[in-house]
Amino acid sequence: MEDWEREVDSINWKTMLAEIDQALLDNLAAEIGFRSYENLENASGLVAEDYHICHLSDNRWAYWNPHTYTREDPLFFEDRDTVIKHIAEMFGLVDEKLEQLKLGMDEVHQSHQCEYCKYEFLPSTTTGDWDTDKYCSAECAMESVLHEMKEDFVE
């Protein structure tokens, strides 16, 4: 019993809570289709009050909030007009504010889906040694080439 109490006393609760928070954010990213929260955040635009929007490779839009994720799932919309209508109604946007929303959504770039791992990603603007429109990373590009080589070898 004393060993158990000593173990509990030695737990760094702040570190544990930070790890749980990060795991929840990564789970949110995975639910939307991204490998990590950082990738999701980079591909998204801020709407208002911690609500974000991203344009997915299949042309849907995902609307999400990292602070309310444990209580409310991300919302998915089939087209731009539907998500604009939802946001405008939620925040009571009219006239100038509605136009700002539309302009802001024009700044959100559509993500791509990696041909190897199938995660969403925002194509890199830097040139790499791999096709940055097809693969999310050099690792996925390399794994894809190795997979093709193995298939050729087996045949």
Residue 80 in any domain: the answer is yes
Residue 22 in any domain: the answer is yes
pLDDT tens per residue across span 116-128 = 999 999 987 555 5
Strand ranges of the sheet holding 61-64, from the earlier edge strand across to the other edge: 44-48, 51-55, 61-64, 75-77
Residue 139 in any domain: the answer is no
Residue 153 in any domain: the answer is no
pTM as predicted: 0.81
pLDDT tens per residue across span 92-120 = 999 999 999 999 999 999 999 999 999 99
**Domain that residue 24 falls in:** 2-112
pLDDT tens per residue across span 50-78 = 999 999 999 999 999 999 988 989 999 99
pLDDT tens per residue across span 5-33 = 777 777 777 887 888 888 999 999 999 99
Residue 67 in any domain: the answer is yes
For residue 46, pLDDT over 90 is answered with yes
Residue 25 in any domain: the answer is yes
Residue 46 in any domain: the answer is yes
Q: What is the pLDDT at residue 105?
A: 92
Q: What is the pLDDT at residue 7?
A: 76
Residue 120 in any domain: the answer is no
Q: What is the pLDDT at residue 155?
A: 59
Strand partners, 77: 61
Q: At what angle do helices 95-106 and 80-91 cross, to 10 degrees?
A: 140
pLDDT tens per residue across span 140-154 = 888 988 877 776 666
Q: How many domains does the chain have?
A: 1
